[in-house]
């Protein structure tokens, strides 16, 4: 009697076919002396050739093989679930690539590997596991093993994602390629064998990163220390994992492309270069957050040798906030040209425009009208600055004898009140002093409370070396590193996710 085939478990095809029938259970041998057994009883299990050996084991249970297979499938399911969950928790493309290499290494039994992505026409991204930059450089020296053209020359390799991936099948075929013994394999270039011997690997297994939805986005290769290749079960598991990993990496690539687009748009909306004004030198640092915030800055020449400086930010993030930032900055430039000598009037006009055109959005802004020495002012008097702020952090004035916050009037952000009005403040920086503007993202990225962040910023400004006080670039760089120290890989060492924009704008008066 036939039995139905075993069902598939969560999409994993059984590596062995299910049994087509189940043999009947064998009869148990009676106890006692074989010579006294009734001839009409059950037949001797040893058959006509004699009694069974006394120490013979009983036949295995009929379902033992099925249970073993089912246990193996469940074990594979648990392994795949753990690996895909770990991959799903990765928040960046680089972390996802490293996780794919680690998971693939455990599935195919290799110790080292590398993965290369080449989305569209962008430069490829290569990440190694157990391979340093020098090792990856050696691998890049392996010549392409492209086939010869029938008429001479070489055929292009459109699906090549690196020197080790030239023999991958064309797009649409997701099979892997194994080199089980590189030293003994024929057809490989001498340079390939030389690099393998230098790096100490004897075999490799390459797999295209491809799915039906995402297409081919790259390839991965794992390197064995000794001649080896993955078995059928290992290839099956790494293929299932590859399907999920490809979709996950494709989503990271799409997100990275969107962020690059927003970053490019934001950079194009900000000044491409700082103006040159007699009597003042400018420097700026701008770090963009991953979500695309609306912080901005501006420096524009005004009539009679004056200079307008502004920093601000709009609420929200993403493309809509970037677009609102561009509109706000363009409007402020127009108002600054018309009535820049009165910063309060500039911000009042900006508040009215924001309330009428974008009633659901608020913004902070600080505008300063600067008259450097030489702009109808003798050099002995230094510069003159008239500024007004709307909910924005006060600037710092930094010099040899002081590092202090400018006392600006407390005011609500633009768009928060029915009518905005705040008095302006006039200061006179001495020759050699620097006025430092910044965005609140600089304070938020420290991970401290606002009081501690302000104290930390003041300490950073006061600790500027004396030799750097006359260089605005050195000042902003020192303050940025003191506020947001970085680790060896460029990540911020403090407890912030770096989500907000950071703006530092320095004006040094000569």
* 334-345 pLDDT tens trace: 999 998 899 999
Between CA 109 and CA 179 the distance in angstroms is 14
Reading the block at residue 50, the tokens are 């004699």
Domain boundary at 217, 236, 262, which? 262
Say if residue 218 is in the same domain as residue 302: no
Percent of the chain at pLDDT > 70 equals 76
- What is the C-alpha to C-alpha distance for residues 503 and 510, in angstroms, rounded to an integer? 23
Domain range for 309: 270-509
pLDDT at 294: 81
CA distance 333 to 356: 18
**Number of other CB atoms surrounding residue 258 within 10 Å:** 13
Structure tokens belonging to residue 218: 């790259």
Q: Evaluate whether 135 touches 128 at the Cβ level (below 8 Å).
A: yes
Q: Are 310 and 498 within 8 A, CB to CB? A: no
Q: Residue 311: which residues within 8 A CB-CB, separation 6 or more?
A: 295, 296, 297, 298, 365, 366, 392, 437, 438, 439, 503, 505
Domain tally, the chain? 2
- 258/283 same-domain check: no
For residue 117, give the CATH number of its domain.
3.30.450.40
192-222 per-position pLDDT tens digit: 899 999 999 999 999 999 888 888 898 999 9
Contact 479, 457 (CB under 8 A): yes
Rounded distance, CA 72 to CA 78, Å?
10
What per-residue confidence (pLDDT) applies to 35? 40
For the range 189-193, what are the long-range contacts, defined as Cβ-Cβ under 8 Å and sequence gap of 24 or more?
189/142, 189/143, 189/145, 191/141, 191/142, 191/143, 192/142, 192/143, 192/145, 192/163
> Using N-to-C axis directions, what is the helix angle for 472-483 and 450-462, rounded to 10°?
140
477 & 343 share domain: yes
pLDDT confidence of residue 292: 62
Which pLDDT value is given to residue 282? 96
Do 213 and 111 reside in the same domain of the chain? Answer: yes
Q: Is the dihedral of CA 237, 239, 242, 244 positive or negative?
A: negative
Strand-pairing partners, residue 365, are: 312, 390
Q: Which of 265, 264, 364 is nearest to 323 (CA)?
A: 265
Q: pLDDT below 50 — which residues of the chain?
A: 1-53, 146-161, 487-490, 493-496
Could you tell me if 399 and 437 lie in one domain?
yes
Do 299 and 243 share a domain, yes or no?
no
Measured between its terminal Cα atoms, the distance across the chain in Å is: 100
Q: Do the domain assignments include residue 19?
A: no
| Confidence at residue 236, expressed as pLDDT on a 0 to 100 scale | 92
- Considering the domain boundaries, does residue 51 fall inside one? no
Res 30: pLDDT: 41
Residues 245 and 304 reside in one and the same domain: no
Neighbours of 40 (CB within 10 A): 5
Q: Is residue 486 part of a domain?
A: yes
In the prediction, which pLDDT does 120 show? 61
pLDDT in tens, 234-285: 999 999 999 999 999 999 998 888 878 877 877 888 888 899 999 999 999 9
The 3-state DSSP class for residue 416 equals coil
């Amino acid at each position: 009697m036939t039995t139905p085939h075993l069902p598939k478990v969560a999409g994993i095809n059984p590596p062995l076919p299910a049994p087509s029938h189940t043999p009947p259970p064998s009869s148990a041998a009676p106890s006692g002396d074989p010579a006294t057994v009734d001839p009409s009883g059950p037949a001797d299990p040893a058959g006509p050739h004699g009694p069974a050996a006394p120490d013979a084991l009983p036949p295995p249970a009929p379902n033992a093989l099925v249970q073993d297979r089912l246990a193996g499938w469940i074990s594979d399911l648990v392994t795949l679930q753990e690996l895909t969950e770990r991959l799903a928790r990765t928040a960046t493309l680089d972390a996802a690539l490293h996780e794919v290499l680690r998971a693939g290494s455990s599935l195919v039994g290799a110790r080292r590997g590398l993965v290369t992505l080449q989305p569209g026409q962008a430069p490829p991204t290569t990440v190694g596991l157990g391979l340093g930059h020098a090792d990856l450089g050696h691998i890049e020296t392996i010549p392409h093993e492209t086939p010869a053209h029938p008429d001479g020359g070489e055929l292009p390799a459109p699906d090549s994602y690196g020197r080790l991936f030239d023999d991958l099948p064309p797009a649409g075929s997701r099979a892997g390629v194994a080199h089980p013994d590189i030293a003994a394999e024929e057809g490989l270039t001498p340079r390939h064998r030389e690099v393998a011997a230098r790096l100490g690997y004897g075999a490799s297994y390459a797999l295209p990163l491809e799915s039906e939805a995402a297409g081919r986005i790259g390839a991965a290769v794992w390197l064995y220390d000794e001649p080896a290749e993955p078995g059928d079960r290992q290839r099956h598991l790494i293929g299932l994992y590859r399907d999920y990993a490809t979709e996950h990496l494709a989503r990271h690539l799409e997100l990275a492309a969107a962020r690059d687009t927003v970053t490019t748009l934001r950079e194009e909306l900000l000044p491409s270069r700082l103006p040159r004004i007699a009597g003042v030198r400018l420097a700026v640092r701008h770090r963009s957050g991953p979500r695309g915030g609306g912080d901005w800055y501006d420096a524009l020449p005004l009539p009679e040798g004056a200079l307008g400086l502004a920093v601000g930010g709009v609420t929200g993030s993403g493309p809509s906030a970037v677009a609102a930032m561009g509109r706000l900055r363009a409007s402020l430039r127009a108002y600054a040209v018309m009535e820049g000598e009165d910063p309060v009037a500039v911000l009042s006009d900006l508040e009215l425009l924001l309330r009428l055109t974008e009633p659901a959005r608020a913004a902070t802004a600080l505008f300063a009208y600067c008259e450097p020495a030489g702009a109808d002012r003798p050099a002995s008097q230094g510069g003159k600055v008239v500024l007004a702020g709307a909910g924005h952090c006060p600037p710092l004035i930094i010099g040899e004898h002081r590092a202090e916050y400018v006392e600006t009037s407390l005011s609500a952000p633009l768009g928060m009140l029915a009518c905005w009005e705040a008095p302006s403040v006039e200061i006179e920086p001495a020759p050699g002093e620097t006025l430092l503007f910044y965005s609140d993202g600089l304070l938020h990225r420290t991970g401290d409370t606002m009081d501690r962040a302000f104290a930390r910023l003041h300490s950073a400004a006061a600790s500027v070396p004396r030799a750097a006080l006359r260089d605005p670039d050195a000042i902003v760089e020192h303050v940025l590193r003191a506020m947001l120290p970085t680790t060896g890989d460029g990540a911020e060492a403090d407890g912030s996710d770096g989500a907000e924009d950071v703006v530092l704008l320095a004006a040094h008066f000569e």
